[in-house]
């Protein structure tokens, strides 16, 4: 279950019903699959943040070689405004909304995308993890509920 939850695009939301249907106990299945998924989200966010930081440094060095200081200052001002705009949108509910769609789109991809937008790895991990845990609980409850409805549980 842990490896299944950790596998990109398989997600805990798919692995949990499969484990419950296979007859495994619900709580350990949810914990193992969710833990595997959360591990890969954390790694994706952390590596994404490091790649973004490396790319920004590379871009800044490249720009410094091309342009004079005045041009660089204007570009930095534009970049800062863009960053503030992104943060404003994300603070108005962007990350929580994205976190709800994480398992549908792919939690690892979502973590990298949110970090690429300028959100810290810790913050992106927090929100996407909340969404993943919510979806995992919902998947387990729906599977157990389906068993009860059809008289299988």
Please report, for residues 27, 76, 102, 112, 144, the alpha-carbon distance to residue 120 in angstroms, rounded to integers and kept in the order given. 31, 20, 17, 10, 36
The residues, any chain, with a CB within 8 Å of residue 45's CB and separated by 6 or more, are 111, 112, 114, 115, 121, 122, 124, 125, 128
The residues, any chain, with a CB within 8 Å of residue 70's CB and separated by 6 or more, are none
CA-CA distance, 108 to 9, in Å (whole number)?
8
CA-CA distance, 28 to 20, in Å (whole number)?
10
52: tokens are 């973004």
Amino acid 74: pLDDT: 78
Helix residue ranges per DSSP H, the chain: 2-6, 11-21, 26-66, 69-89, 95-105, 107-116, 121-149
Return the domain boundaries, the chain.
Answer: 2-149
What is the pLDDT tens value at each position of the chain, 153 positions in all?
777 776 666 777 888 999 999 999 999 999 999 999 899 999 989 988 888 888 888 887 777 766 666 777 777 788 777 667 656 656 666 777 777 777 777 788 888 888 887 788 898 899 889 988 998 999 999 998 886 666 655
CB atoms within 10 A of CB 116: 14
């Amino acid at each position: 279950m842990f490896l299944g939850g950790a596998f990109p695009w398989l997600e805990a939301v798919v692995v949990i019903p499969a484990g419950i249907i296979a007859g495994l106990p619900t709580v350990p299945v949810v914990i193992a699959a969710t833990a595997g998924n959360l591990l890969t989200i954390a790694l994706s966010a952390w590596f994404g943040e490091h790649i973004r930081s490396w790319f920004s440094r590379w871009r800044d060095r490249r720009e410094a070689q091309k342009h004079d200081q005045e041009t660089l200052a204007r570009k930095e001002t534009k970049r800062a405004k863009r960053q503030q705009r992104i943060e404003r949108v994300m603070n108005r509910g962007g990350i929580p909304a994205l976190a709800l769609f994480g398992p549908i789109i792919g939690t690892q991809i979502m973590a990298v995308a949110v970090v690429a937008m300028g959100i810290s790895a810790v913050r992106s991990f927090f929100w996407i993890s909340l969404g993943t845990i919510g979806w995992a609980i919902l998947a387990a409850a729906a599977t157990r509920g389906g068993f009860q409805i059809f008289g299988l549980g």
